[in-house]
Chain A
Amino acid sequence: MNRRQIVKGMAATVGGMLVLPAWASAWNSGSLQGFQSNFVGLEEALLAEIVEAIIPETDTPGAKKLEVHRFIDKMLADCFDQKSRDIFNKGLKSVETMASKSYGKSYLACTPKQKLEVITTMSKASDADDQGFARLAKNLTIRGYLSSEYVMTKLTGYEMAPGRYYGCVPVKA
């Protein structure tokens, strides 16, 4: 039963360890009192802009329109411990601080190019928490985006029950 899943999970962990700081996967039996949104007003708007910077609207919808920020909120509440949530919230504040230091305005008021610049800088920051924040935000944005109904049905060809299996077909088929 599901040993393949365990083995796969192990392989993913081996890879995952390289890119995520320890605290991000160190969640365990922490305290959890049901789902309560981590964010209040402005923070949610801020995260919406951050996920949009990571995966922007092009000829297809971006992460903001697909409400990936709400998915992240839910994931943080249910699947991560308080320490991870604290670091994440601290990261949101750092984004604001960096925006006002670099461009003299709030992140929300930055141009798309500036927004992207702030996130890129965070991902390379010397501060371990800032860097961890950027990586976790990216991780969850990708997870939420790629598993969204829009992407799976319109872009990556999800089928509920393929009914057949071919070991080799051209990639564009």
Chain B
Amino acid sequence: MNQSNINTQKANKYDAIVIGSGMTGGIAAKELTQKGLKVLMLERGREIKHPEDYDTANKAPWEFEHRGKVPINSAEEYWSNNRFGTLANEEAGAFFTNDKQNPFIEKRPFDWIRAYHTGGKSMHWGRQTYRWGKHDFEANAKEGVGIDWPIRYEDIAPWYSYIEKFVGISGQKEGWDIIPDSDFLPPMAMLPPEIHFKDAVMKKLNRKVTIGRIANLSQAQPIHTALGRASCQYRNKCSRGCPHGGYYSSMAGAIPAAAQTKRLTIRHNAIAESLIYDETKQKATGVRVIDQVDKSVTDYFAKIIFVTAGSMNSAALMLNSKSSRFPNGFGNDSDQLGRNVMDHHLGSGATATVEGFEDDYYFGSRPTGLYIPRFRNWDGNQRKDYLRGFGYQGGASRSSWNRGIGMDGFGAEFKKSLTEPGGWTLGFGGFGEILPDPNNRIYLDPQKKDQWGIPMIVFDAAFSENDLAMRRDIMVAGAEMLEAAGFKNITTYNRETHMGLGIHEMGTARMGHDPKTSVLNKYNQVHACKNVFVTDGACMVSASCVNPSLTYMAITARAADYAVGELKKRNL
């Protein structure tokens, strides 16, 4: 790179740089600015202004010309988004990343779903929010899997509470160890067949069911309204972006909170190319950025750097940051950088039809469903064929237009039946824990580069026998519960999906006590360069089976608190 073309102005100096504006970048920026630091947030994608840029948010169904089906040209441009799902559809497709323009390499198939814009994937997340239990932090050590977590539940619990109050989580207090209660807003209601199901599986199988814990404001509190957020409107159109701020996203929550301090600068279209390392100071001094539009190069400088670019991109950025001290990538003395890719596997489950409840209906669209916490390898319910476990997410619904296709008949009678509610169905799919395996990894292609001259990421990861055995059990155990509830026409499914589709990718720069086997210490500092913190999913040592965003955010707030303390003590 021609050094003379690089902008290295003094004006590019900040107290902290946060790379990424998503779920964890948002929290990092909020915490650091609120604690008095001048922060630059780098976002590689375009700017989306909350709430005015959610251009599909208020469209009626008939205003989408393909009524939600994915057009062929979109399926081609967004091939990874659409390989198994319909993410890049007319409702929210423009907010996902065009895979053709942002290519990656699959040594083994990986469904990499990205959202390169303000707020990142926090705009589209499933919003299901669960605390990890004590067992999740202890399992690796107990079972001899991977390495031990350097922290325990008690280290993170106060930060869970802190984040939960800020984000706003609707849920039911249950007092269960498997998924400890959060600081909840009021729970959403269960549907009548769901209440029947909950009671039946508890009575007959001793399995728990609760209403899905969701980051939607069932009752907005002053901490939320102060940022312009309002209670959930029960539209269940969250993926389009919520003009009311009814669900938590970085753009509705953390970024406005950081902006209120007047210490936040956001630079969009800013792709972090590498971390700048000063060999004499033995510190990172800044970040080299390539503008995604005009491809100009700028160096930004700061005392501390938070790497929160999303697990895969955070690891890739570090792998691409080479120096004489770090010839194999930033902080990669252990060779664990890019390894231990984990996700939650999904795509297997069970459904059934429900007889009765014909006179019951609901009002509004509930943005959550049922949650069935893990019951395998828990509470004496041991499995010989696999380790860890899974939770289910699903719920009941009254069948809609789909049923018409299967129904006999055409004409007037058929027409009449179409606009009447169909029968109830109840179903759910498993979210299974994937174990860390150093052979599940990403690395940078030695030759191929993207249009910005940055090496392309190669994915080399797949499910293990543990995952496949668990997926079979997800079907069997699911059918068992539907049967216990007396439901009919039980169907199980197990789609041949890939790693990545859970969109909970994590593990590529794990925490640990020992610098020989891990990249980060217990405060998310790079072992060999303490002023760089990695606090997104990359830091995870194991995956649990519950949705991870809450844990990422809590870890980030904890690390930010520590970082500011260390700065004040002049340790960084």
Interface residues of A (CB under 8 A from B): 1-7, 9-12, 14-16, 18-20, 27-30, 32, 53-56, 58, 62, 71, 74-75, 78-81, 116, 119-120, 123, 135, 138-139, 142-149, 151-152, 155-156, 158, 160-171, 173
Residue contact B84 to A6, C-beta cutoff 8 Å? yes
Q: Out of A12, A160, A167, which one reaches B58, CB within 8 Å? A: A160
A–B pairs, 30, beta carbons within 8 Å: A1-B121, A2-B124, A5-B85, A6-B501, A7-B346, A11-B349, A11-B427, A14-B491, A32-B73, A53-B411, A58-B412, A75-B66, A78-B72, A79-B66, A79-B69, A79-B71, A79-B72, A135-B405, A146-B401, A147-B61, A152-B62, A161-B235, A162-B365, A164-B364, A165-B189, A165-B232, A167-B366, A168-B192, A168-B361, A171-B358
A32 to chain B: which residues have CB within 8 Å?
71-73
B62 to chain A: which residues have CB within 8 Å?
147-149, 152
Contact code string B384-414 (vs A, CB < 8 Å = 1, else 0)? 0000000001100000111011100011101
Residue contact B404 to A138, C-beta cutoff 8 Å? yes
Tell me whether A163 and B364 are in contact in the complex, defined as CB-CB below 8 angstroms, given that A10-B429, A10-B495 are known contacts.
Answer: yes
Please name 13 further chain A to chain B contacts, defined as beta carbons within 8 Å, in addition to the given A146-B404, A164-B363, A165-B365, sorted by A numbering.
A6-B85, A6-B501, A7-B394, A18-B406, A28-B72, A78-B73, A79-B71, A81-B72, A142-B401, A156-B419, A165-B232, A167-B362, A170-B360
A147 to chain B: which residues have CB within 8 Å?
61-62, 67, 401
> Would you call B222 an interface residue if the criterion is a C-beta within 8 Å of the partner chain's C-beta atoms?
no
Residue contact A169 to B394, C-beta cutoff 8 Å? no
A144 to chain B: which residues have CB within 8 Å?
67
Tell me whether A2 and B71 are in contact in the complex, defined as CB-CB below 8 angstroms, given that A20-B405, A74-B65 are known contacts.
Answer: no
Q: Out of A2, A28, A58, which one reaches B239, CB within 8 Å? A: A2
Enumerate the 4 nearest inter-chain pairs by beta-carbon distance, A residue then B residue, closest first: A167-B189, A1-B124, A165-B364, A162-B364
Contact code string B49-80 (vs A, CB < 8 Å = 1, else 0)? 00000000010111001110111110110010
Residue contact B401 to A166, C-beta cutoff 8 Å? no
Q: How far is the CB of B285 from chain A (nearest CB, A)?
A: 35
A146 to B66, CA, bound (A): 13
Residue contact A11 to B493, C-beta cutoff 8 Å? yes
Residue contact A167 to B359, C-beta cutoff 8 Å? no
B427 to chain A: which residues have CB within 8 Å?
11
A9 to B84, CA, bound (A): 9
CB closest residue in chain A, given B368:
A4
Q: How many positions in chain B have a CB within 8 Å of any CB in the partner chain?
A: 78
Q: Out of B234, B365, B406, B412, which one reaches A19, CB within 8 Å? A: B406
CB closest residue in chain A, given B235:
A161
A28 to B501, CA, bound (A): 18
A53 to B409, CA, bound (A): 11
Label chain A's interface by main secondary structure: helix
Residue contact B86 to A139, C-beta cutoff 8 Å? no
B60 to chain A: which residues have CB within 8 Å?
149, 152, 158, 160
Residue contact B360 to A162, C-beta cutoff 8 Å? no
Q: Out of A62, A145, A165, which one reaches B362, CB within 8 Å? A: A165
> Would you call B245 an interface residue if the criterion is a C-beta within 8 Å of the partner chain's C-beta atoms?
no
A15 to B75, CA, bound (A): 22
A7 to B351, CA, bound (A): 11
A155 to B416, CA, bound (A): 11
Q: How far is the CB of B488 from chain A (nearest CB, A)?
A: 15
Residue contact A14 to B124, C-beta cutoff 8 Å? no
A122 to B428, CA, bound (A): 36
Q: Out of A1, A3, A54, which one reaches B414, CB within 8 Å? A: A54
Residue contact A58 to B406, C-beta cutoff 8 Å? no
CB closest residue in chain A, given B400:
A146
A151 to B60, CA, bound (A): 12
CB closest residue in chain A, given B344:
A3
Q: How far is the CB of B475 from chain A (nearest CB, A)?
A: 12
Q: Out of A2, A9, A80, A135, which one reaches B72, CB within 8 Å? A: A80
A169 to B429, CA, bound (A): 27
Q: How far is the CB of B270 from chain A (nearest CB, A)?
A: 23
Residue contact A11 to B351, C-beta cutoff 8 Å? yes
Residue contact B234 to A16, C-beta cutoff 8 Å? no
B234 to chain A: which residues have CB within 8 Å?
161-165
A18 to chain B: which residues have CB within 8 Å?
406
> Would you call B146 an interface residue if the criterion is a C-beta within 8 Å of the partner chain's C-beta atoms?
no
Interface centre among A3, A53, A139, A162 (most CB of B within 10 A): A3
Q: Out of B125, B232, B346, B361, which one reaches A6, CB within 8 Å? A: B346
Interface centre among B61, B125, B192 (most CB of A within 10 A): B61
A88 to B405, CA, bound (A): 17
> Would you call B20 an interface residue if the criterion is a C-beta within 8 Å of the partner chain's C-beta atoms?
no
Contact code string B319-359 (vs A, CB < 8 Å = 1, else 0)? 00000000000000000000000000011010100000011
Residue contact A161 to B233, C-beta cutoff 8 Å? yes
B362 to chain A: which residues have CB within 8 Å?
165-169
Tell me whether A155 and B419 are in contact in the complex, defined as CB-CB below 8 angstroms, given that A19-B405, A54-B411, A116-B410 are known contacts.
Answer: yes
B70 to chain A: which residues have CB within 8 Å?
79
CB closest residue in chain B, given A80:
B72
Residue contact A119 to B410, C-beta cutoff 8 Å? yes
B233 to chain A: which residues have CB within 8 Å?
161-163
CB closest residue in chain A, given B231:
A163
B501 to chain A: which residues have CB within 8 Å?
6
A139 to chain B: which residues have CB within 8 Å?
405
CB closest residue in chain B, given A120:
B410
Interface centre among B61, B190, B192, B419 (most CB of A within 10 A): B419
